[in-house]
Amino acid sequence: MPGKFESMRHRGAAALGLLLLADVVGAATPVHDRAGNRVEALIEQPDRAPAGSDDGAASPRFCTQDRQWCVRTRRNGDPSAGQLEVEHRPAGEPEPRLRFLPMPALETPASEQPWPFIVRMAPGIGAPQVPSDPQQAALENVLVGVVSGTSTGYSGGGADAGTLRLSRIYHQQDGIQIDPDVLVVPADGHAMIRACFGQADEARRAGACHDEYSFTMTLALDPAGQGMPVLRYRTTATRFPAGASRFQDASTKGPLRKRDLRIQTDPACSYQRTFRFVGGVYVPDAPLPGCEEFTQL
């Protein structure tokens, strides 16, 4: 039977950090598509901040294996001024080039971490036009991201939800261009609601005093993709016990039976979409279903 909400939150945090685990079996092994674009897991770096520095509001740094790209989030206590800090160290340059991507202002307390992967595009891919300047044309274009999560507590439980935002960084003739939020999708959701109030309630619930909901996803390259990376988005949504609903009063339903005490996959919110880059953003091949029961607090 599912455990307490605190352990559920730990499972949610782990899922946020492993959004591509099903498609990237080896953390250091890039996955390529037909065009030569590749997705690569980022490696968390040891904390290098000196004691007393102002890096307490920054996340750990995550870098590619060759250290050419590193990312971390930074908020510094200002809910309106968060940013994703991107370090790019082109081959042969002694110092990294720093870029700062603004993150949305926070309306409620939230957790933010870099998406622990990067999509590195093949030469000539990622910019609307390949620069004629050979030095600019040789610079790599990428997709980087941030996973933000919010949470709330309920009597006897609580909920958390995460969102993935990808941004495109590409090089033009006269410099760098950053396009934020080229892809925004639900990343994770967990909820534990309801509780038993006395032995009669516990008996009516067959000992399963909480309803639990889970939403996870994976994001991967389509191996047949050409040109801009084609992304495959796959989700899984479950509920426990079977038949539970956040939109229905459980007291109006009959007692739970033993056969209800199982994790049930929700078919409408367990789906797959292919995202293609159209007009400067990623567009799914079909609309995403409304899955607020799993992805909202």
Q: Tell me the pLDDT of the chain (297 aa) as tens digits.
A: 444 444 344 444 434 444 443 343 334 467 899 999 999 999 999 976 544 455 557 889 999 999 999 999 987 766 666 899 999 999 888 899 999 998 876 666 568 899 999 999 999 999 999 999 998 999 999 999 999 988 898 877 899 999 999 999 999 988 899 999 999 999 999 999 887 888 888 888 888 888 999 999 999 999 999 999 999 999 999 999 999 998 887 667 789 999 999 999 999 999 999 999 999 999 999 999 999 999 988
Q: Which tokens go with 25?
A: 């079996």
pLDDT, residue 54, reads: 56
From residue 215, give the alpha-carbon distance in Å to each of 54, 85, 163, 169.
Answer: 35, 28, 11, 29
| 241 in Cβ contact with 262 (< 8 Å) | yes
Residue tagged 């065009």 (tokens): 35
* Rounded-to-integer distance, Cα 41 and Cα 30, Å: 7
| 234 in Cβ contact with 272 (< 8 Å) | yes
Q: Which tokens go with 70?
A: 């590193």
* Rounded-to-integer distance, Cα 120 and Cα 43, Å: 15
- Identify which of 64, 97, 70, 101 has the alpha carbon closest to the alpha carbon of residue 84: 101
Residue tagged 């609307």 (tokens): 128
* Rounded-to-integer distance, Cα 209 and Cα 41, Å: 39
Enumerate the H helices of the chain as residue ranges: 5-17, 134-137, 199-204, 292-295
- Identify which of 8, 7, 4 has the alpha carbon closest to the alpha carbon of residue 238: 8
pLDDT, residue 235, reads: 98
pLDDT, residue 205, reads: 86
Residue type, 80: S
Sign of CA dihedral 57, 20, 107, 194: negative
pLDDT, residue 201, reads: 84
Q: Which positions ≥6 away from 213 have C-beta within 8 Å?
A: 159, 189, 190, 191, 192, 193, 237, 238, 239, 240, 244, 246, 293, 294
pLDDT, residue 163, reads: 94
Helix, coil or strand: residue 138: coil
Residue type, 276: R
